[in-house]
Structures are given as structure tokens and as C-alpha cells.
């Protein structure tokens, strides 16, 4: 999904900082898009590291004077099997990326937006932040927490014209979900009977970052093919 977001936002004319722990993939994508005359750079980021966040934000500020938007997209599914299988180290690793990583992003980017007079933050949650999954215990917990964090941050920064929203995708066709053991089960319970394509999520991200969403903050945008309607 992150690749799709970068491609779509840069196509719309955004200047994009790709921040990822996968150096080769991020650098290759940035190089490819720069070859199309798009304003895209890559920087290494471990979202669980406050030092990394501080460095990345400072780099973006030095390049372009600030940041107008942040997409907290990094995520891991954790260990399958529930609380008796997912030991404390696996729990901590999942919470560190999915929840703490987004917290650190908000912590370091929001001050730049506040000083610039506004901005928009999009947190990538999940339908499992609503309904849970007993076998993806830490993942469900982290995505539910991210929805609450979104509301809290929206209230905190509303007076600074910084909007904070969450998107909550259902099953999306990505390499991670291609390995999902129960992918067919999710699709069978989805009224539209298919996975989402990454671009369908990216369009929603772009909308929430844009001025078209200027009166939307503290909200969840569910993109799930009707899954939660059941």
C-alpha cells in the first residue's frame, strides 16, 4: 500500500518523502519516480526509533521547509494464534510498529504543521480495529488503539488547523495479504466478494490529505467492500 500511496500522491503533484526500513525497495522506487520527473526522495526510517523520526523530519524540513502531510502506513500483522501463542516479545514488536510508530510520527511531525499553520495526518488502521480477530490479537489491539489515538490527536491539534483521520481498510491485495491464511474467508464475508486494490486505498489517503477534506478530522474512513456492514 505504501508504494501505491507514493506513486499516486506524486502523480498528483505532491513532493513525497518515502520513509521506510527497507532501504533497497525505497531507494529503487524513489529513483524510478525521479526518472519520471517527480519530486520524490527516500530516507531510511525505523518507525520504532525516535532518533530515526527526528532525523527524517529534520531532513524533510531542510529539503522543503516543512511537511504538509503525514501518512502513518507502516504495519506488521504479528504472530498468528492468539494470546497464548503470541508471546510478549511478539506482542511488543507488533505494538512498537503499528501503534508506537504512529505515535512517534505524530509527535515529531505535528509541531512542524502547527508552526506552518496547518496540515493533515492519516493513520492507517484496519477493520480489525473495529471487530477484532482472536488469532491476530496484538494486531487487532494495535489497530483499535490507533483509531482512539486518531481521535485524541484530532482534538489536541484542532486549534492548530492540523487534521488527523484514520483509514480502515479491509482485505487489500498486497504481498502481506497474499500470505494471509484466511484471506479467502475474509473475501467470502465481504459483500463485494473481492479484495481491494491498493490504489483504492491510496485515493482515500489523498482525499483526506487534501483540502477537499478540510472539515473532516477525528474520523474513520472505512474501505472494506461492505465487510463491517454485516
- CA–CA distance, 156 with 107 (Å, rounded to integer): 11
Under a CB-based contact definition with an 8 Å cutoff, are residues 146 and 125 in contact?
yes
Which three-class secondary structure state does DSSP give residue 109?
Answer: helix
Q: Is 139 a catalytic residue?
A: yes
- CA–CA distance, 176 with 190 (Å, rounded to integer): 19
Under a CB-based contact definition with an 8 Å cutoff, are residues 181 and 135 in contact?
no
* Catalytic choice (8, 103, 139, 186): 139
CA angle 215, 218, 223 (to 5 degrees): 90
Quick one: the chain helix, strand, coil %, rounded to 5?
Answer: 55, 15, 30
For the chain, the straight-line distance linking the first and the last C-alpha, in angstroms and rounded, comes to 25
203-206 contacts at long range (C-beta below 8 A, 24 or more positions apart):
203/8, 204/167, 205/5, 205/8, 205/9, 205/71, 205/122, 205/124, 205/167, 206/8, 206/9, 206/12
Alpha helices (runs of H) in 12-136, residue ranges in sequence order: 23-34, 50-64, 88-95, 101-116, 128-131
Q: Which residues are catalytic?
A: 139
Amino acid at each position: 500500500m505504501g508504494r501505491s500511496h507514493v506513486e499516486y500522491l506524486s502523480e498528483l503533484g505532491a513532493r513525497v518523502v518515502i520513509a521506510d526500513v527497507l532501504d533497497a525497495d525505497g531507494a529503487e522506487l524513489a529513483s524510478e519516480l525521479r526518472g519520471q520527473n517527480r519530486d520524490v526522495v527516500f530516507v531510511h526510517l525505523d518507525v520504532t526509533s525516535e532518533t530515526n523520526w527526528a532525523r527524517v523530519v529534520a531532513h524533510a524540513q531542510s529539503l522543503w521547509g516543512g511537511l504538509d502531510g503525514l501518512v502513518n502506513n507502516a504495519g506488521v500483522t504479528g504472530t498468528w494464534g492468539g494470546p497464548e501463542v503470541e508471546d510478549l516479545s511478539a506482542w511488543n514488536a507488533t505494538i512498537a510498529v503499528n501503534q508506537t510508530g504512529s505515535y512517534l510520527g505524530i509527535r515529531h511531525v505535528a509541531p512542524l504543521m502547527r508552526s506552518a499553520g496547518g496540515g493533515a495526518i492519516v493513520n492507517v488502521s484496519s477493520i480489525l480495529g473495529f471487530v477484532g480477530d482472536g488469532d491476530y490479537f496484538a494486531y487487532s489491539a494495535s489497530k483499535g488503539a490507533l483509531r482512539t489515538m486518531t481521535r485524541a490527536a484530532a482534538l489536541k491539534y484542532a486549534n492548530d488547523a492540523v487534521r488527523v483521520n484514520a483509514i480502515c481498510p479491509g482485505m487489500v491485495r498486497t504481498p502481506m495479504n497474499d500470505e494471509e491464511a484466511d484471506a479467502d474467508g475474509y473475501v467470502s464475508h465481504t459483500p463485494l466478494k473481492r479484495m481491494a486494490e491498493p490504489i483504492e486505498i491510496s485515493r482515500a489517503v489523498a482525499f483526506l490529505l487534501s483540502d477537499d477534506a478540510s472539515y473532516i478530522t477525528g474520523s474513520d474512513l472505512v474501505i472494506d467492500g461492505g465487510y463491517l456492514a454485516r
